[in-house]
Structures are given as structure tokens and as C-alpha cells.
Chains A and B, each alone.
Chain A
Amino acid sequence: MTDQGPGRPELAGVADAVIETRGRPSLVWLIPLVAALIGAFVAYRAFSERGPEITITFKTAEGLEAGKTQIKYKDVEVGVVDEVILAPDLSGVSCRARMVKGAERWLTEKTQFWVVKPRISGGQVSGLGTLLSGSYIGIDPVLEGKRSRSFQGLEAPPLVTMKEPGRFYVLRSTRAGSVDVGTPVYYRRIQVGQVISSELDLNDDFVTTRIFVRAPYDERVHQNTRFWNASGVEVSAGANGVKIETESIVSILIGGIAFETPEEGPADVAAADTVYPLYENHDAAERRHYAKRVPYLLYFRGQSVRGLAVGAPVEFRGIQIGEVTDIRLEFDPAADQFRIPVVIEIERERFTSLQASEKKREEVLDRLVASGMRAQLKTGSFLTGQLIVALDIFKNAPPAKVVWNGPIPELPTIPTPLEEITANLTQLVNRLSKVPVEQIGTELQASLKELRITLAKSEDIGPALKATLEQAQRTLASTNALIGPDSGVNAELRRTLLELSDAARALGLAADQFQTQPDSLIFGKKGSR
């Protein structure tokens, strides 16, 4: 620069003074420092709040959006889906999600994930909030168990979360009825639980239904509790008429399971996962209460059992004491005849005074039969035409005995009242057939013949009678000629009468003449003069 200012030597040192450097750094460096600190803090916070990364597999990614879909527990966000990709074998989708810090503790093998979306199933509508906000992934965290980072998502929300107090039970039945996942479980018509799963056990073809009963109602489930299918409307047209039964309106729509604990019996609260039979209906469940059942065999000889069904009641004077358990048809080739054995079971607990021992019971039964106890088919309901088996004492029944020597003791039967009427009618017909109709006919014929002969004899009187009649006729004819209109007598009589009337008229005229001219009597008529 020196060459630039030869004329101004006083400026010679200025150029050097421009480049000033100070020992201590400027305060302005605090700004990048602060920026770096804040950035570092934000980065640290973001990093330190990062929880574990997990993978959830779903069948479909419906409602899942990378970076948006949240994982929520009790509506608190606990994670976000980072990535949704197809599974390598295309069997489903794999969801990579970042959980919040500290989530490791409850990400165990038992932890369940499911997509919460609007759902209308059976008796409930759920997830309506997600209609607007979009789906999210629900989680049921479980603290105990082995920790895991990879999960299989559920297709539907679990009906019972692990936290919910209560017990699970297993019900077994031959068919599922209208029991489905979510079907309510009722106790005294209060919903106390739900069906968790219902599936066919491939080992023995039984339907295994897992149910959950909430606390404290699970304490009402004892060892002797009976579960039955309270599905929909139970319409039973039995011998007792038509019966309609239902547990609730909801159960009409989606079915249900009800249970009842009998008062008597052991009062131990059942342990979780106890297996119970699931009865088809309330009646079936109640029936099983009578454990002591004694079978008897009945033969209704020569009688149709149409209208008698398995399950038909066995009544003693109108009180049910058992039911029909089997109806078969047997052909006896030796005797060439069909027999219909009907097996009934008498529930001995139904009558209270029968407390005798086995031997004595037989004696009592023998005595009863000896005094006329018989089984009889009766029409239980005229509406349905169902038959029942009635036991009663028939004083004048033909003597019979209990047949003890079969596998099932056989009770004697007596025909139905209707059958009796039929029998009586047959008797009547039989008696009628004995009437000697032919003999009566012959006799009647003979009588008629006789009558004819009598009539033939009476023919001789005829001519005489005829002559007499002819004579009478003649007499009458002559009489007729005498006084008939053309007879002379008649004409003369008429003439006489005419003259007589003329005379009367003349007499009248004369009388008038005398009245007006009394002197004419003496002087004669004036005119004539």
C-alpha cells in the first residue's frame, strides 16, 4: 500500500491497523455454542426417550399407517408405528413400531396387540372413536413372562384383558349352539362374563368353549355348577304344551350361556379352568340334578307309540317322576311278532319318602304292582298330540307282576283309555255278530207267506159283495131318474109352483084394489065398467 499513498505519507501505517485481532474470542461465539447445546439436548432427549423397537405381525395392514398409527394403552400413547411392510412370505404384514422408554418391562411374550377400529359385533359396538381419529393399535401389557420384541397381532381385540379379575372355565358340549366369541355369560340374568373362544376339539369332536367370569361373580361358580346354553329363544313343544324361554333380549340376538349353582352340594369355589359340561338348555341342566335314576322297561303290547318321544315325561298321577329314555322296535323271529320296548327312568330323588334299601324297594314295587300299579300311555297334550307314560294304581287291572330277570326290570302295562274304548267297541261288534240274522229272516219269510194265504182265502167274498153293490147302484140310479131334473115329477112340480105364484100375485092385486076402492067389492072395478 505504500506505493498507493506516496503523497500521503501519514496514511502509510493504516492498512496494517485494519486487521485487528484480539486475544479473547468474541461473545458472539456464545450463539453457536447455545445452538449446539440446545441441539445436543434435543437430540439427547429424542434419543433417550426412544424405547425399544418391536415388530408386530398382522394379517392385514388395514388402518395401519407408517409414522401415524399409534400404539395406545388406556388411551395413552406408548408407541408409534414406524414402518409397515409385507411379510417376506406374503402371509401378512410386519409392523415395525417404536415404543416409549421403559416399555421393555411389559413387552413380554404374553403381551397382546390388536388393531382398534370400529367394530360392531354381537351385542356391542366398539371403537367408534376411531371412525374419526383413525385406527390405533391396542396393547394389553403383561409384566410377567419372558421379554420379547416380536409379536403376533390379534385379529380382534381380546375380550378379557389380563388385568381383569375373574376366572376362566372350560365348557364342553356336543354342539356349539349359538355360542360365539363375545357371547355373554349370565348368572341370574345378569351378565357376568363372556365367551372367550369356541372351537371344535379335533381329538374327540367335542366343542370346547372357554368362558370368562368376572370377579366377584366367579365365586358363584362351584364344583356342582351347571352351565347351559341360554341361546336365543327356546321354544319347546313338549307333552306339557308350548314353552318359550329366553334369558334376555340380547341373548335372543346373539345367544348366551347361563349358569346356576344348586343350593345343596359342595360349596367349594371352583378353580380356574375347571371343565364343565354345557347342557343344551335349562331343562337339560336341571334334569341332571337327579343323579339317581332307575330304569324300567315297558312293553305296550299291540299298541302304537306314535306321539311318544324320548324325553317324554313319566308321571305318577300328574307329577313327573322320570322320563322316557329310549324307544326301540324289536322283532322276535320265534314268535313272529314285533315288540316295542320303552325304557323309562324314574328319578328316585323326585319322591321324598322312598328311602328304602334296594331289596326293600323291590318288595315295595312288587306289592304296588300286585295292588294294581300299571304303566299306561296317555295323551299329554291334545294340542301337540304328545304321549306321556303315566303310572297309576288300577284297582281292577288284570293281575301282573314285575319281571325282574332282565337287565332292566319290566313293569306291567295297561291299555290306554282310548284303547279300552276300542276294545269295548270290538266286544259290541262281536256280540252283534252273534245275533241269528238268518233265522230271523227265514221266520219273517214264513210269516209273510202265511199272510198271503189268508189274503187268498178272503178272495171268495168278493163276487157277492160286487152284486150287492151293483144292486145298490141301480137303486140309486132309479131314484135319480125319479127326482132328476128331466123327470116328469120335477116338471109338474115346477108348473104347480108357477101357478101358485100367479095366484099369489093376483091375490096381492086384489088386496090393493080393496084397499084403495073398498067399494069395488060391491060395485066392481070402475075401469071395467
Chain B
Amino acid sequence: MSAAAGTALAASCARCHACGLLARLPIPATEGARCRRCGAELHRRKVRSLERTWAFVIAAALCYAPANILPVMTVVSLGKRESDTILSGVIYLLTHGMWPLAIVVFTASIFVPMLKLMILVFLLVSVHRRSDWRPVERTRLYRITEAIGRWSMVDIYVVTILVALVRLGNLATIEAELGAVFFGAVVVLTMLAAESFDPRLIWDRSQTRSS
């Protein structure tokens, strides 16, 4: 691949993560290199990208199960206590004919976190296997992951706003439940995982393989 020839890595250079200045790295030592302009530490690639991403993905996966099993919020209305998990909320919306809303909630709260986890795992595995299979598509997948990550927080916002607003004493009170904490953790952890993953690794591997 001729394109690889132009990488900073190939030129023994590194772009500063903070200010973007390209700097030449000393050949033997990679530790302790600092940007000439802003003083940030220089790395050729994100530090321990794969390890960190794996850790975050696993943590997120661990939180995913309780996030969906445990109730997210409890509506106490006129003495009637009703706890809802994410899925039961979706079913509730569906049975009450609000299927557009049901689709939104399902996509944002169940489908997207799951999709993110699967994409990240796929990317990690493909990088480990030094796969050169469609690097452009894989990079696009990564970009999608990064972009949609924050939208899963909609649920958490809804819960927090409801909890804060609906404080009508006996008439209606909404309480956040443990499921919301886990769900929030899933969203944050997947975002961190996406953040810590270095998409350049996709290209590095394919280059090494092809070379």
C-alpha cells in the first residue's frame, strides 16, 4: 500500500494530541517526548489503546445486563408503585400505540449500546487479528460508534429530568432506580472505549500485513 508510506508513523513523526503540531520523534526513545509547542506528551499512537478499549468494553458489557434487567425508574402514583425496566417501557409504549416513540427509545436505549459494544469488539478483534479486511468500512464503523454514543444518554436525561420535576407527593413521584445507574455506566464506558480506541491501528495492522 502506497498510502501507508505517508503516515507520520512511517516518517518517525508524531502528531501532538493537544495542539496538532507534527514533531519528529527521537528514534530509540519513545517515552518522555514532549511537544515543542504546547508541552503535551507525544505518542505515536494512543497509549495502550487496545488494552484500555478492551477494559472499557468489558466493563460496559458487564454493566449492560443489569442495566436492562433492573428497573430504571419507579413511578409512585396515588400509592400505586410501578417499576419499569427499559424494555418494559418500550413494551408499554408499543401497547399504547406510541410506536414511533417506542422505536426511538428502543433504538437509543437498547439497540445503540448493544451495537456500540459489538462494533468495538469487532474492531478490537480485527485489529488483534491484524485483519486487512475493508479498513475503510471499519473506520466508518468506528466513526458511527463515536457519533451515536452520546445519544444513548437521552434515557438518562429523561429519567433525571422526570425525577427532578415530578415531585407531587402522593399524587405522583418518580424515583430513579439502580438500572439507570448501570445504564449510564454502559453509555459512559462505551464512550470511553470508543475514545480510547485508536482507529489508526486499523490501518497500521493492514499495512504491516500487506507489506
Q: What residues of chain A have their CB less than 8 Å away from a CB belonging to chain B?
A: 1, 3-5, 8, 10-11, 13-15, 17-18, 20, 22, 25-26, 28-29, 31-32, 34-36, 38-39, 42-43, 68, 70, 129, 132-134
Does B141 sit within 8 A of A, measured CB to CB?
no
User: A18 near B79 (CB under 8 angstroms)?
Assistant: no
User: A129 near B79 (CB under 8 angstroms)?
Assistant: yes
Measured CA separation A25–B196 after assembly (Å): 16
Does B41 sit within 8 A of A, measured CB to CB?
no
Closest residue of chain B to A68 (Cβ to Cβ) is B82
Measured CA separation A26–B48 after assembly (Å): 8
B contact residues around A3 at 8 Å (CB): 211
A-B contact pairs, 11 of them (CB 8 A): A4-B4, A4-B10, A10-B12, A10-B27, A17-B30, A18-B44, A35-B62, A35-B63, A36-B59, A36-B62, A43-B66
A35 and B189 contact, Cβ closer than 8 Å, known pairs A1-B211, A68-B82, A133-B79:
yes
Measured CA separation A32–B204 after assembly (Å): 27
Residues facing A in B41-61 (CB within 8 A) are 44-45, 48, 51-52, 55-56, 58-60
Measured CA separation A20–B44 after assembly (Å): 11
Measured CA separation A26–B54 after assembly (Å): 11
Contact residue among B5, B66, B182 (Cβ-Cβ distance under 8 Å from A4): B5
A contact residues around B81 at 8 Å (CB): 70, 133
| Minimum Cβ distance to chain A for residue B201 (Å) | 10
Does B134 sit within 8 A of A, measured CB to CB?
no
Count class of interface residues, chain B? 35 or more
User: A11 near B27 (CB under 8 angstroms)?
Assistant: yes
A134 and B51 contact, Cβ closer than 8 Å, known pairs A13-B27, A17-B30, A42-B66:
no
Does B80 sit within 8 A of A, measured CB to CB?
yes
Extra contacts, 15 of them, besides A18-B9, A28-B52, A133-B80 (Cβ < 8 A), are: A1-B208, A1-B211, A3-B211, A14-B9, A26-B55, A28-B48, A28-B196, A31-B56, A32-B56, A35-B58, A35-B185, A36-B59, A39-B63, A42-B66, A133-B81
Measured CA separation A71–B205 after assembly (Å): 60
The 8 closest A-B pairs by CB, nearest first: A133-B79, A32-B59, A35-B59, A132-B78, A32-B58, A11-B12, A35-B62, A28-B55
Measured CA separation A11–B48 after assembly (Å): 22
A contact residues around B104 at 8 Å (CB): none
| Minimum Cβ distance to chain A for residue B205 (Å) | 10
B contact residues around A43 at 8 Å (CB): 66
B contact residues around A34 at 8 Å (CB): 59
Does B65 sit within 8 A of A, measured CB to CB?
yes
| Minimum Cβ distance to chain B for residue A72 (Å) | 11
Closest residue of chain A to B2 (Cβ to Cβ) is A4
Closest residue of chain B to A42 (Cβ to Cβ) is B66
B contact residues around A28 at 8 Å (CB): 48, 51-52, 55-56, 196
A133 and B204 contact, Cβ closer than 8 Å, known pairs A31-B59, A35-B189:
no
B contact residues around A14 at 8 Å (CB): 9, 12, 25, 27
